[in-house]
Amino acid sequence: MFRNAVVFKRWCLAQSSRQVLDGLKNQELIRTNGYINGKWVESSSGETFAVTDPAIYPKESAFIAEVSSMSVNDYETAIQAAHDSFKSFKKTTGRYRSELLLNLYRLMIENQDDLAKLIVLENGKPYADALGEVKYAASFFQWFSEEAPRIGGDVIDSQNYGNKIITLKQPVGVAGILTPWNFPSAMITRKLAAAVSTGCTTVIKPASETPLSALLLAYLAEKAGFPAGVVNVLPSHDSSGVGRVMCEHPLVKKVSFTGSTNVGKLLMSQSSSTLKKLSFELGGNAPFIVFEDADVDAAITGALISKFRSSGQTCVCANRIFVHESVYDEFTEKFVKLINEKTKLGYGLEEGITHGPVIHDRSFAKVRSHIDDAISKGAKLLAGGNPRPDLGENFHELTILGDVTSDMLISQEETFGPVAPIIKFSTEEEVIQFANDTDVGLAGYFFSRDVGRIFRVAEDLEVGMIGVNTGAISESALPFGGIKHSGFGREGSKYGADEYTVVKSVVLGGIR
């Protein structure tokens, strides 16, 4: 029946995926239609698309579910519903919105095992990683439930003795939310929680690779008591058409997008006719710097976390690892040993697996092109370097490259895959110049025990977020966002709600 053991294993995994889906504790979480104005509806065009497991090949065996592909007309219906709902939702109290968000947080925690397994199936990341994402995603609902009652303005003393100035923070209106596949739950909750906390209503387009996690959130929002029209989730394979209608529709007052810099520029151009409020979290090329006075053991642990989380498929992944020449040999030797001893590639629901596949063949091709280009120009292969077709077509070994130089593609482009390039440097001034020699600036990391250097380098690195002596920076309290071509605006933290508000000034005269 089976040509070889590899084919047999893939067949077993496919059966396992279906069993996982059938074995979810709460079958109501599995939704395949769009959610518009409090109702589950099929696409008006009748179109659908398949959701597949990236860990399984061929795709015919990787099928998870058939999902409605909502049309541009469906989006226009959802936008109108969100606009109508906004008229009343904007008048609700912060305490009311806080309770809604807290309800949603509790429901996510109650269903965390099912949510994590769905992420494994449609994204491919290992279960422990997926469970961590669910908890991280839920934390935004908790955080903004605490912020919602405290969103308010100020009283300002006027230069005119008889006047007082009052500022009001008001919700901007309907918010369009466009999210990627790499964090199918957290990329939505980080935006949705902030929007709801201010009184905005939302229309959400999840990535076509991972719509089930988004539709699941819509179901939980319904159960949490959200009024109809506040949360609308519409899966679609027409990304360009949906992006255009979200940006050009006059009733959408805010667009929040996470994705590539090129797409962000296009969306910004399309939004110009309506002068929307925008927040974009775009591409990165994060430097990771190990100075000569660093704790090398802490640095290699930080590098493992920062570079290889989700197989290198996060926007804040270290993309270029700069190591001082005096600790270069020690760092590379220990880093290779750590990768070999502490990581295991495979299917995300198998015990002991730490890393899964890349999301699709295009990502795999980019990983291969960066490795091949670097080796052809003199880079040394220190660990990994090979595809793993025995595991699946999208699996690639965690790879470490040494003696990387600035003329290699991997130094110039974001890999978004499991490849760590190590670059030797001599001085602080030199490495700062290398690190800043890019038009993007999302995240950066460095390891040093010199207090003066910590302040100097933190100020000099041209990025929006910095991890000092840590490779893990993301949490709900962090103002998340970049500078330069990595976008603008901040998500999470006390600043996150500001992205969904406008400030109105009121001058009171005749007081004295």
Q: Which residues are catalytic?
A: 281
- Where do we find the tokens 């395949």? 32
Residue 339: what are its φ and ψ, rounded to 5°? -65, -45
| C-alpha closest to that of 380 among 407, 396, 367, 399 | 399
Q: CB of 382 within 8 A of CB of 376?
A: no
Q: Cα 420 from chain centroid?
A: 20
Q: DSSP string spanning 389-426?
A: TTT-TT-B--EEEES--TTSHHHHS---SSEEEEEEE-
DSSP assignments along 39-64, one per residue = EEE--TT--EEEEE-TTSSSGGG-EE
Q: Are 133 and 187 in contact (CB under 8 A)?
A: no
Cβ atoms of residues 283 and 261 within 8 Å: yes
Q: Distance from CA of residue 409 to its chain's centroid?
A: 24
Terminal-to-terminal C-alpha distance of the chain? 92
Helix runs in 90-111, H state only: 94-110
* Number of other residues whose CB lies within 10 A of the CB of residue 291: 22
CA 419 to CA 383: how far, in whole Å?
10
Cis status, amide bond into 211, omega within 30 of 0: no
β-bridge mates for residue 444, sequence order: 466
List C-alpha distances in Å: 56 to 17, 80, 120, 347, 359.
9, 40, 12, 9, 11
Note whether 322 and 431 are within 8 A (CB).
Answer: yes
CA atoms of 285 and 414, how far apart (whole Å): 5
**Cα separation, 497 vs 303, whole angstroms:** 31
Long-range contacts of 107-114 (CB under 8 A, 24+ apart): 107/220, 107/223, 107/224, 108/134, 108/137, 108/138, 108/141, 108/220, 109/135, 109/138, 111/25, 111/26, 111/29, 111/220, 112/138, 113/25, 114/24, 114/25, 114/26, 114/29
d(CA 211, CA 250): 26
Helix (H, G, I), strand (E, B) or coil at 80: helix
